[in-house]
Structure 1
Amino acid sequence: MRAGWQLSTIGEVCEVVNGATPKTSVAQYWGGHHRWITPAEMGKRSNPYVDETARTLTDAGLQDCSAKLLPANSVILSSRAPIGHLVINAEPMATNQGCKGLVPASGVHHKFLYYYLGNVAELLESLGTGATFKELSGGKLKAVEIFLPPMDEQKRIVAILDQAFAGIATAKANSEKNLQNARALFESHLQQVFGSGKEGWVDTTIDRCIRFIDYRGRTPTKTEAGLRLITAKNVKMGFLQRTPMEFVDPRSYGSWMTRGIPKKGDVLFTTEAPLGNVAQLDTDEKVVFAQRVIIMQPDPAVLDNTLLKYLLLSPTVQERIRDKATGATALGIKASLLKKIEISFPRDLAEQQRLVSQLDALKSESLRLERTQRQKLAALDELKQSLLAKAFAGELS
């Protein structure tokens, strides 16, 4: 044991308070002056401290349920859906049943406790039980061990972590901005290329030069192995994602793929959930399609298939697609309306291929910049976890 540090459990150094929800159908329980937080709201916050909540309770609402007001500077932990979100309440606050409030004893600094729980997040997750979703019980949380140094040392550790994490937060914000800029740069170039018709370009509609193979509305029987099944979940903006990996029985291929056989380079378009994702089929292997995907095969004598991909990804065409979309829960577009979307592209195939080469090179550079920024973000997350581990091993100097 580290010199001067005492081994305790969460239950010995904190009061653990369960949350609750009053009846949502009773209007007089809601909109009062008592703050009330949920795991969903906690997950949206980047600042450890919270002083306002999306919903509030009246005195009657607080009395109706078993929720209790936590004193300021308690630590609130989401104990289900998911386990591990953390905030510190700057004002008295209640929680719903998906949270546990930890009221630290006089010898425990609230920010030290906050950082400690963040350090043992994987342990807390592993202690959760449940078939539908995991939940961390109060009993298991109370049994979690914690090494506590004297208060002066707790404050020293908190000060070091506060300063280090502020620097990490600034670096992450810069990397995230650079990541957005890399994506925006490519979108801006697409807008310049396809934003308005040019001399020598064809102005037409999708149905005039593109064949649709439409497997929407059909769901094949899935198997543990076999031919790869491609659904809307695999089609991302500009690329085809391998996961989720789903399969169908190879013996069903002939009877299933009766609407048309896709080939490598065909353009894939998602018509809803999500709307407007575009990629190209990247394999010659037999694959099966279903669920909200239209396969587009342009006339090769008129339109290059890779140029069609970039054309559909352009902000101009994406906006036209969304203008024709319908749906209250999830936006979608009917095939009949999609076919009438106006598009414009060079008449000359050599010019199309020149544009494709240019766009491929720019996309490659954009992906390189994105990869660099993601690596920086991952390294910053690793640094944060390393600092936490050192802090609670007594190794911060």
Structure 2
Amino acid sequence: MNQKHSADTEIIWKDTRLAEIGRIVAGGTPSTSDPNNWNGTVAWVTPADLSGRSSRHLTTTERTLTELGLATSAARLLPPRSLVISSRAPIGHMALPLVSFCTNQGCKSIEFFDGQDPDFHYYNLRFWVRRLHDKGEGTTFSEISKKALEAVEVPVPSNRKVQETIASVLALLDRAIEQTEALLAKQQRIKTGLMHDLLTRGLDAQGRLRDPSTHAFKPSPLGPIPTEWTAVYVEDLCDDIVDCPHSTPKYELGGFPCIRTADMVPGKLLLQNAYRVSSSTYQERISRLVPRKGDIIYSREGERLGIASPVGDELVCLGQRVMLLRPKAETDSTFLTWAMNSPSFYNRVVLGQIATTSPHINVRDIKKALVVRPEPTEQQLIGEALAADDSERSALENCLEKLRRQKGGLMHDLLTGLVPVTPLLANPEAPISP
């Protein structure tokens, strides 16, 4: 077993087998045909419960067992804060349940020995998860066996106080990330409500939401709308609507951004990581219409279906699965962008396509999709209100991304011994410097 000194000369990290830090436990499933085995009080963790989690803690599971189901299966009850790891489809999702639990065969768990800090090992194994992947075997899908998991080695400081200190520093960042995610979720709920109100009631001459009790509304194919508005087709608000070239471009390291659906979120193009094309390829892909500031790119195919993003100052061209709309001079581009990003538009135009084998929307369907048309001045006011709200969301998203990068950097520095831990032992919340 290898030993190494970290930046703290008095702290020794050892490559330690997982079997040395805890008991590795496999899972099981009782008979699914016997209803007496199910819907009890015993949490039963499967890989689905671990997928897409941002919090390290788990308190509930999608399915539960009865005491009979636990007794008649190979599953074993584990104490809270044992570490559960998905061992297939895929390998390496993990959590620390805060309740007693058992698992199915798609998970393995570590019931820690005394002297080990569960939170540290959660972060440590998240960082060294590639070592779990490397032990996976299988043709249809990769799976790590109990024996292979026991043999995985990761660097571990033998001093529990050091483990706890590293975990507490990373937990501080986790709490900040979770709080920011909660703020983003709250802001999105507010945004959805604001979008609904602005796109169904609009703003009166004083810039206030119209009140149905004091303003006149009329019936329309989209429901009641202010009498000043009309319901029109998207094409009525545009000078031009064109599809993307039906070919895969040759990408290069430099050049012009070639927009794919992966480069789009509602209301914004993500140009930083966009694939790029040469000048000649760019010219080929703008032959139908040259994208310019104020145009709207709309994703019309694939998993990221139904997203409208405005073109900014940088020259771009269309990749695959997208289309380009050029609003009329009297159409506010920001207004139309958010009208096409609204839940109402999505539900009417996009939702029916999601369940198909190859989800897509035809260009003609977008042209003939209904939207509301306020007067140009009101469109601008609505667009400005939604854009201002979106800028707050962008600030939160930037903060969240910064926190995630900071956490990733700290995990690397703390869990490889590059940053001395000794100064943190006295104050885990102290600033960290390499």
TM-score by length of 2: 0.65
Q: Does 1:274 align with 2:282?
A: no
Residues 254 and 368 (structure 1), Cα distance of their counterparts in 2 relative to 1, 3 Å cut: closer
Contact 1:168 1:384 in 2 (8 A): no
For residues 184 and 142 of structure 2, the distance between their equivalents in structure 1, rounded to whole angstroms, comes to: 33
Deviation of the 1:367 alpha carbon? 3.1
Amino acid at match of 1:93: C
Contact 2:308 2:340 in 1 (8 A): yes
* Correspondent of 1:144 among 154, 157, 162: 154
Post-superposition Cα deviations, 1:34-81, rounded to whole Å, max 9, x if no partner, equal: 97643332235646456756377979995xxxx764654543233562
Deviation of the 1:202 alpha carbon? 4.2
For residues 425 and 59 of structure 2, the distance between their equivalents in structure 1, rounded to whole angstroms, comes to: 28
Partner of 2:130: 125
**Which residues in structure 2 correspond to 1:55-204 (within 5 Å)?**
69=76, 71-72=78-79, 74-79=82-87, 81-83=90-92, 85-88=94-97, 90-91=99-100, 93-97=102-106, 99-105=107-113, 107-108=114-115, 112-126=117-131, 128-129=133-134, 138=148, 141-148=151-158, 174-196=179-201, 197-198=225-226, 200-204=228-232
Partner of 1:312: 340
For residues 117 and 93 of structure 1, the distance between their equivalents in structure 2, rounded to whole angstroms, comes to: 18
- Secondary structure of the residue that 1:274 maps to in structure 2? coil
For residues 143 and 266 of structure 1, the distance between their equivalents in structure 2, rounded to whole angstroms, comes to: 54
**Which residues in structure 2 correspond to 1:356-395 (within 5 Å)?**
356-368=383-395, 371=398
Partner of 2:220: none
Residues 4 and 94 (structure 1), Cα distance of their counterparts in 2 relative to 1, 3 Å cut: same
- Secondary structure of the residue that 1:207 maps to in structure 2? helix
- Secondary structure of the residue that 1:320 maps to in structure 2? helix
Partner of 2:18: 10
- Secondary structure of the residue that 2:198 maps to in structure 1? helix
For residues 189 and 35 of structure 1, the distance between their equivalents in structure 2, rounded to whole angstroms, comes to: 39
* Correspondent of 1:222 among 241, 246, 250: 250
Amino acid at match of 1:38: T
Amino acid at match of 2:338: Y
Give % identity.
Answer: 20
For residues 289 and 228 of structure 1, the distance between their equivalents in structure 2, rounded to whole angstroms, comes to: 9
Contact 1:230 1:246 in 2 (8 A): yes
Deviation of the 1:296 alpha carbon? 0.8
| RMSD, aligned α-carbons | 4.9
- Secondary structure of the residue that 1:310 maps to in structure 2? helix
Residues 182 and 378 (structure 1), Cα distance of their counterparts in 2 relative to 1, 3 Å cut: farther
- Secondary structure of the residue that 1:223 maps to in structure 2? coil
For residues 314 and 10 of structure 1, the distance between their equivalents in structure 2, rounded to whole angstroms, comes to: 49
Contact 1:12 1:142 in 2 (8 A): no
Contact 2:334 2:387 in 1 (8 A): no
Deviation of the 1:177 alpha carbon? 3.3
* Correspondent of 2:328 among 278, 299, 306: 299
Residues 123 and 345 (structure 1), Cα distance of their counterparts in 2 relative to 1, 3 Å cut: same
Structure 1 residue ranges without an equivalent (≥5)? none
Q: Does 1:265 align with 2:294?
A: yes
Contact 2:242 2:363 in 1 (8 A): no
Q: How many residues align?
A: 377
Amino acid at match of 1:264: K
For residues 161 and 261 of structure 1, the distance between their equivalents in structure 2, rounded to whole angstroms, comes to: 52
For residues 310 and 92 of structure 1, the distance between their equivalents in structure 2, rounded to whole angstroms, comes to: 45
TM-score by length of 1: 0.69
